[in-house]
Each structure stands twice: as C-alpha cells, then as structure tokens.
Amino acid sequence: MKDKMTQENLDLSGKVAIVTGAGAGLGRAEARALASAGANIVLNDLPSAADEAAEELRGLGVEVRIAPGDVGERATADLMIAEAEKLGGVDIVVNNAGITRDRMIFNLADDEWDLVIKVHLRGHFLLTRNAASYWRSKSKAEGAPVYGRIVNTSSEAFLSGSPGQANYAAAKAGITALTLSAARGLSKIGVTANAICPRARTAMTEQVFAPDESGKTVDPFSADHVAPLVAYLASPAAERINGQLFVVYGGMVSLIAAPVVEQRFDATADTWSLGDLDQQLGGYFTDRDPSKCFAADSIMQLTI
C-alpha cells in the first residue's frame, strides 16, 4: 500500500509543465523526465529549436506544445502560459534557459552584461511572475490552495564568485533570491519554489568541463543526472520541500545551507568611530586568511 501511495505521489499524469530552453541539453533532459512521469509539456526555445524535442516527447505518449521565443521578452512568457492553458492549465514551471558571455569584469561590455541578465534573471522573473499570477487567481476563484511547482536554475558561479563571469554570477545570485521570495510569497496558496545548481555538460558549458574520462557508464556531468531531481521537485511527493537550494550532478544531490553569522562586532560607544572599527573589525582580520571571503569555496570542492 505504501509503495502504491509513493508511486501516486511521484506521478505527474494530468499535470502540465513548462520548460524553458528545452530544445537540447539540460532543458530537454528535464522535459523528458517530466514527460516520463506523465506530465504534458510546453516546450520553449528559440524558433524551430524545440521541434525535434517535441517529437521525442510525443513518442512518450504525452501532449506537447511549443512556445517559441526569447524568455527575456514578456510576450514569450505570455505565450507559454497561453499554451499551457490549452493543455489544461499550469502546474509546473522549470526555468532553465540561459546563455553566457564570459569575460573578466574589466573587459565586460554593457551589452554582454545586459543580455545575460535579461535571459537569465529577467527570463526567470517573467515566467515566474506570470505563473504566480495564474495560481493566485485560480486559488482565489476556488477558495483553496492550488498545485504549483517552480524549479529555477541557479549556479555555483554565484557561490564562488567566478571571476570571469560577473554577469552570469550576478544573474544566478538574483535567481536564488527570486526563488526564495517566490517560495515565501506563494507557499500559502500551495506553491513551492526551489533552485538547483546543476553541473551538466551542455552546449553552454562545453568549455567548462573536460571530456569524460571517468570510465563510468553515465558521464558524471550528463544532464540525465540532473533531470530526475527536477521531476521529483515537481511531484506531489516534494510538497514539503520549499525555498531550498541544491547542487546536483553525477548521482549526488547536496542541500546547501543558508549563510551563517561568522562574527558579530558591537560599537563600544553610541555610534562607531573609525578607531573602534579598526580595533575590532581590523583586529579580527589581522590574522585571518585574506583569501577567505564570502565565496562558498567549500561547496566547489564537492566531488563524487
């Protein structure tokens, strides 16, 4: 009986999922995992980029619609919601689409900053906002909580402060904050929001990971290691998981803890003086490793 209930809690039959950047790579793997669990899918990617993926998913016996366009444009977010409603509604949102324009910050052009922020952070915002509006209206109309799942794509780049990716790291930090805000703001109406930091070999990350020489049956950086977590977080079984950040790759899922206070300093007078700050704050850092900063370097050492 318990096994039957577990399977029911993992079943996405009748649910409708929107996946951005789903024509290839991680997004396609995530869409495949959701479809394999029974969800009908709205695929987003640039025009014609998701056609092949759509045919593959239809072969799994689910309904598929395509909402082409730039995720950084409001019209694309509107189209994705409209296509999902044609399939019965919106239940799951997987924000995955992204690009990189890597340069050291002193060489980073205005348009390279703007484009990465637009596709990643604005793209996540637009679809999340539209879905949140849809769920809130539905909850008010029904007078009860609704079913809603948001899975956003962050990156360890924001945790490490990767020096050649100021635009990307900033966008991913923003996405994590957006996820937390959505998680807290939508939980009362039944919606959860979580973020993943995937290590996956895709067209966007092909310069990051060396060729697979692990000797394992499945490449540790295959998107197939990430997709099951996305399908799980989208399922009824994950209803108690909200506002969390996970690093995932190679058969490993790591739950990342929130930052903690390392040290507190209190002014000795009513307000701080420069001397007091130098004595307390400066004194604390005198013998502290200067390379140790807010970056979560220990997380980058996670291995399988």
Residues serving a catalytic function are 155, 168, 172
Of 51, 85, 91, give the one whose Cα is nearest residue 68. Answer: 51
| Tokens encoding 115 | 């484009």
| Tokens encoding 63 | 């309904």
Q: Is 17 helix (H, G, I), strand (E, B) or coil?
A: strand
Contact 60, 36 (CB under 8 A): yes
CA distance between the termini of the chain: 34
Contact 29, 218 (CB under 8 A): no
**Residues shown for the chain:** 304
In the chain, alpha helices (H): 2-10, 25-36, 51-58, 74-86, 110-117, 123-142, 157-160, 166-186, 227-233, 274-277, 283-286, 297-300
